[in-house]
Amino acid sequence: MYIGIISAMKEEIQALLNELQIEKKVIRGMRTYYQGILFDRKVILVFSRWGKVASATTATQLLNEFEIDEILFTGVAGAIHPDIYIGDIIIGSELYQHDMNGSPLVKTFEIPLLGKSAFRTSIEKRNALLKATETFLLEKYKFLTKKQLADFDIKNPKMHVGDIASGDQFISSSKQSQAILIGLPSVICVEMEGAAVAQVCYEYKVPFSIIRTISDNANHNAHIDFPKFAKDIASIYALGILKNYLG
């Protein structure tokens, strides 16, 4: 059995790809699934591209093509909680689709036919990720230099556990953030893929986990080199955390 690891951009898992002992590459639907050994564990790495459709398609192919016993999503996200900063790490608890609205046929945010508004991550896997992340934060300078962090004004990164909202929009203003928080007040960050993959995993009865690195504050206009942040920070975070998680 394999652990599936997905990100939306290749830059977000580049550090993991560099460490992966690749045994096979499988190309399906314009995506490359890298099969191999990472920290002595059998894994499949793939980047899904942006958005809910792209990520759900990737997750479904991953589950149908390979013997997968868990899926983990990693990448960047925008904070919409005032006490979360660039460089902080989010371990997802429940995943919502903030742009799902089937009312009046079903409640706002509810997924038609499933009767669910949120998909909960695996508690067992989440607790293991918490320990792995705590260790990484204590040992972050084994993976990152002070300059790498300073380049993005990251001073004292922290870990948070909370709910995540996904939607096919790039959230970059207070107006957008507030609109999400009115309906989903427990959400602490936003992105474009997690809840879609969580839904696929729920329907296939496969454990799902998600780690997000905060790249910007979605309450304000974001001005950041996302590919550079993903490659130089988020990708390294994922490497350090997963080394502890898989080891």
- Tens-digit pLDDT profile for residues 168-226: 998 888 899 999 999 999 999 999 999 999 999 999 999 999 999 999 886 655 567 88
Please tell me whether residue 180 adopts helix, strand or coil conformation.
helix
3-state per-residue secondary structure call for 135-187:
HHHHCHHHCCCHHHHHCCCCCCCCEEEEEEEECCCCCCCHHHHHHHHHHCCCE
For strands 31-38 and 68-79, give the pairing: unpaired
165 bridge partner residues: 96, 190
Query: What's the number of CA atoms in the CB half-sphere (13 Å) around residue 208?
Result: 29
Annotated catalytic sites, by residue? Answer: 12, 216
In order of their start, the domains of the chain are 2-246 (3.40.50.1580)
Query: What is the pLDDT at residue 129?
Result: 98
Q: Which residues lie closer than 8 Å to 27 by C-beta, 6 or more apart?
A: 33
| Residue range 69-85, pLDDT digits in tens | 999 999 999 999 999 99
